[in-house]
Each structure stands twice: as structure tokens, then as C-alpha cells.
Amino acid sequence: MEIAVLRERHPLERRVALAPSQISPLEALGIQVRVEAGAGTRAGWSDEEYRAAGARVEDDLGALLEDVACVLKIRPPRDGSDGEADEVARLPSGSLLISFLSPGEPPGLLEALASREVSAIAMERMPRTTRAQRMDALSSQASAGGYRAVLLAATQLPRFFPMLTTAAGTIPPAKVIVLGAGVAGLQAIATARRLGASVQGYDIRSAAAEQVRSLGATFLEEDEEEAALEEAETEGGYARALQETERDRQLAFLARHVPKADVVITTAQIPGRPAPLLVTREMVEEMAAGSVVIDLAGESGGNCELSRAGETVEHGGVTILAPIDLPAGVAQHSSRMYGTNLTAVLQHLVEDGELQLDLEDEIVDAVLVTHGSTVRVEPAAKGS
């Protein structure tokens, strides 16, 4: 069985789907790996390193994809509309694509894949269960994103993060609020604490309070807020969408805290839905000049009303960033983690050197978005 690793063509993407060290474990499954030339260059791995690890490196996309059973990527395959190679049209009929497919999913992508009878696994749909834990790429990449978000905020903030006692006086620590205490949020809290900031965390899931406090941060809560938002966690561990009255109470609550922060990092996303609004224009306008908002949900609509995905916005002296490439900023470790997730997926799917897509398996059923010529899910909702 042969699989192919494509070079990521997005201009901001530096990651690669497999590291050279992950070739050998796949060979043990009876898998021969092909790698597109230059795929690992921006993550710090040369073509020669892949060859030395046992991979076959191909310069030509057609030769790379010829008769492969499975194609590995990070971002969705490109359709050629941007002048780059049309990856969708080159995918072999009957093959399996494993990749993130949203947010940022091109319109009509699933239909195009199905028209070529390409089965596709969307890594962002991986269930958060014990069986699927090692395959959870959304969590591994969110951890990298949360870490990078704090470093980005620290470089943008015209103030120190830690408290400093100097001959020129004592400088108080920066006040950081992290909205959303999932994987990205908890990593952001931990990183901001390491840098010496005074950190507060917020999440509508009451179960997150203990995790936030365990990292040395303060959990934002008040009695009526807890009562209004009880049972806000879904069975899969994600936050559920709020009702209108709940959203109004949430925004009123956050409006009392957000303007006091030097840095606000937002990480709240709901799979398959636009990101919830947490930081309004009015909140930003009450923040002190020089303050920073880092919105990790930019690609799915943004948690901040003023965010624009991939752009930096200045509003009333406040800097709002909605980066779409944070895990790529630590490309080598992000790639290793993602490759570990993919290796676990292949170990789950490959038996006697062949792919087995068992639709009765809860993991396969959750992540398989196209199968043969059939689109099995509705396209992900877009942010506004």
C-alpha cells in the first residue's frame, strides 16, 4: 500500500503532514510513503532526510499521486482557482484523503471530492473519546496555537508581561483574560502565567473552572452567570451554542471584565457553526490604548466583532489580530504532533497492509465526510 504526502501550498503554511521520523512506523504497517519534493522544507526537513528515512521523494505531482491509496495533507486540497496546481483533480479515484477540511473549506470541495469518488476524512471531526485520543489533531494543533497566541500578544503589547521591580519603580504585571478554556485556551493560560502575567480565564462550561485554577489563573464567574449557563457542555466535551437570552447575559458579564484587560485572547469555537461573539466593538472601545486582542477563531467568523481573518486591525488604539497560521509558527513540533495523529489514524484503518473503512466504527463514521461518490455530511457553517 502506498500513500502520498503533499506539499502545503498555502502561503502561510509551514507544516507538513509527516516528519521523517514517522516514516518507519508506517513501514511496519506495510505502507510505503511518497513525499512531494520540498514538502518538509519550511518545517526544517530536507528531501534527503525523507529519503534517508525510507520515503520516495517525487518532484512531479502526477508521479507522486499515481495509484496511491491514501493522500495526507494539513489544509484542504486546492482546486487550482488561485493559480496553484489543482490537487483535487489529481487525486486518484477511489483513494482516501486525510486532512483538515474546515474552517476555510472551499465552496463545493466535498462535492468535488465525491465526483472523483475520493473518500475524505476530516480531522477536525475526530470525536473526543478515549479510543480517538491519539488521533485528535484538533487538540494537538490548538495547543500550539494557544502557545503562539501569547507570544504574539507579548510582542504586540507595549508593556511588560511580568511584574518588574526596578530602580525606576515597580511595574505591575499585565492583565490577561483568556476566553474559552479548551485546549488552546488552557495552553494560552499556562503560557501567559509562565511569562508572569496576571491571568483570568473564562468558559461557559463550569467544569473548566478547576482546570483554569489548576494553572494558577483566576476563573471569571458569578452566581447568576453559573445559573444561567448550566449544562453548557455537550457530550463531546465542547461548549454548546447559547440561546439568545443566555448570549445577552454572557455579553453583559464579559463587558464588566474585558475592558480592564491589557490582553484578551479568545479561543471559543463550536464545531460546524460560526464562532460565538464574545468581544463587542463597545468592549474594545473601552479598552486602554495599547491593549491587544488575539482572536483565534478568525477563520470561523471570529469571537471579536472587529476581527478580520488573517489581518491586523487598529481600533481606538487597540490592536486586534485574527491570525490563521499560529501552529505554523512552531512548524516542526506542530508537524510532529500532527504526524503522530495521522499515524494513529492509519494504525486504526490499516489491516494486513490495506485500508479498511468500517462505517460501523464510531470513529470512522464521525470523520468520514465523503465516501465513494456520496457526501455524508452538510458542509461546515461559515462565519459572518
The verdict on whether 9 is a catalytic residue reads: no
- 49-78 burial, b at 16+ Cβ within 10 Å, e below that, comes to bbeebebebbeebeebbeebbbbbbbbbbb
Q: At what angle do helices 331-349 and 137-156 cross, to 10 degrees?
A: 170
Candidates 22, 95, 99, 139; catalytic one: 139
Cis preceding linkage at 103, omega within 30: yes
Which amino acid is it at 313?
A: V
Clarify whether 338 is annotated catalytic: no
Give yes or no: 128 in active site.
yes
> Is 139 among the catalytic positions?
yes
Running DSSP on this structure, what letter comes out for residue 281? H
SS3 163: coil
* 368-371 vs 218-219, strand pairing mode: unpaired
The residues near 202 (Cβ < 8 Å, ≥ 6 apart) are 177, 178, 179, 180, 181, 219, 220, 221, 254, 257
Query: For residue 119, what is the enclosing H or E element?
Result: strand 119-122
Q: 18 vs 1, 228, 254, CA distance in Å? A: 17, 45, 41
The whole-angstrom separation of Cα 321 and Cα 300 is 14
* CA 327/CA 186 separation, integer angstroms: 15
Nearest alpha-carbon partner for 33 in 250, 258, 293, 346: 346
Is residue 238 flagged as an active site residue? yes
What 3-state DSSP class applies to 158?
coil
One of 136, 203, 262, 295 is an active-site residue; which one?
136
**Helical spans, DSSP H, in 215-330:** 223-228, 244-255, 281-286
Closest listed residue to residue 175, CA positions, set 201, 152, 151, 156: 201
- Point out the catalytic residue in the list 128, 134, 193, 376: 128
250-254 contacts, C-beta under 8 A, 24 or more apart: 250/204, 250/225, 250/278, 251/277, 251/278, 251/280, 253/220, 253/222, 253/225, 254/179, 254/202, 254/278, 254/279, 254/283
Q: How far apart are CA 27 and CA 383, in angstroms?
A: 41
Catalytic positions? 128, 133, 136, 139, 238
